[in-house]
Amino acid sequence: MKQKLLIRVPAFTSLLYVCMFLLYSGCQDECERTLTYTLYEPVYLTFDELRSSVARQAAEPVREAGKIYIIGNYLLVNEPGKGIHVFNNSDPSKPENLAFINIPGNIDMAVKGNILYADSHVDLVALDISDPENIHEVSRVKDIFPAWTRTIQAGQQIDPSIGIITDWKQTRTTQISECNTANIQPFMWFGSSYAMLTDARANSSPAPGGGSKPGIGGSMARYTIYDNYLYTIDQANMQLFDISTPTQPFMMNAINIGWSIETIFPYKDKLFIGSQTGMHIYDNANPASPVHISTFAHVRSCDPVVADDKYAYVTLRNGNTCGGFINQLDVVDISDLAAPKLVKSYPMGNPHGLGLDDKTLFICDGTFGLKVYDATDPLAIDKAHLGTKPGQAFDVIPYENIAIVTGTNGISQYDYSDPKNLKLLSVIPVAAE
């Protein structure tokens, strides 16, 4: 006979369980939680505003030094996203600030003769700079470049029909929801021209030079001119513009190169294109149709390049947008352009732009300063360090014994007639906002 185990629960205990159940149910019905959001509303520049804004203005201080370009006795300094400063640099010890060209969305530039070519967000703008007092737009190629913007997080979207997004207006908002609603993870939502991110806080409570010669850009340049053609690069493509009639550029072709394209450097009838994954070499004997010769691949990193007849010099660096962990100078043998090969690597601090004048090599080593080397023997550059100038260095143009160097503190000019003893001639300071 099976025995039954009988457990008796006192009446007051049963009553306690019932009360706890009811109390718990009541708490659930009334439970609330608070979510705090950051809303980002895009600020647009309409296309009409964009295309009516290009104009010469009075000279103003440089607040951020971007790309640099020299043409004749003139120095052009890009103010990223805003426009171009024009300096009379006939006396490098006393550069004269002449004017500012307001060009919304400008990052890059190139000049042939008296015509300046500059990007303005999605457009290519041609400007007559023959008279620095009367710089004016002469033509425009519309909707030719991909739009860029200062996004708050990768993957955000914009409405291209409205115009160009130039900024984000940030607001904070708090939402109260019931506890039994689905858990809200950090996300992005697009609608009504808003981008919304949660904070993941859920509480239970002139005429520059004249003539028709092109100027010279730095190693960070994305524009260059050869013969009657302007070459521009974006993240993946090289665009070719016919500028045989300088005031009327028109796009001829676009060549897909690959992803993460960063810089373009012309040397004789060759184009050296730097990317985050390698250096691409193009034969430009027919400038209307550059032909790919080879690619020298390297680990992911940012990659400006300069070259001479036998060697290409490539700086690799890490950083937020560059990826990788390498900071070095690579020397690549290009005597056989179809088979470039690495012959030597030199450790650096955080190298950015570089320049080469005959056998004098300049390396902008970020916060480690401007470094100067004798590159007579590319396999022993580390044994031919001529000197270092302190301060942050981003890019350099060495030309006719004057090195123009950009950095966070401004644009410095050095006399390097004696490469072992660079003499500071002037500094165009960066003004505080």
pLDDT values of the chain reduced to their tens digit, one per residue, 433 residues: 444 333 344 444 444 444 454 444 544 556 777 777 677 777 888 889 999 999 999 999 999 999 999 999 999 999 999 999 999 999 999 999 999 999 999 999 999 999 999 999 999 999 999 999 999 999 999 999 987 654 444 445 567 778 888 777 777 777 776 666 554 444 333 333 333 333 332 333 333 444 466 899 999 999 999 999 999 999 899 999 999 999 999 999 999 998 889 999 999 999 999 988 889 999 999 999 999 999 998 755 667 999 999 999 999 988 655 556 789 999 999 999 999 999 999 999 999 999 999 999 999 999 999 999 999 999 999 999 999 999 999 999 999 999 999 999 999 999 999 999 999 999 999 997 6
Quote the pLDDT of residue 149.
53
Distance between CA atoms of residues 324 and 321, nearest Å? 9
Residue 230 lies in a domain: no
Residue 283 lies in a domain: no
Residue 96 lies in a domain: yes
Determine the structural domain holding residue 165 and report its residue range.
32-213
Residue 161 lies in a domain: yes
Residue 276 lies in a domain: no
How remote is the C-alpha of 253 from its chain's centroid?
Answer: 23
Residue 305 lies in a domain: no
Residue 241 lies in a domain: no
State the total domains in the chain.
1
Residue 22 lies in a domain: no
Report pTM. 0.81
Quote the pLDDT of residue 157.
58
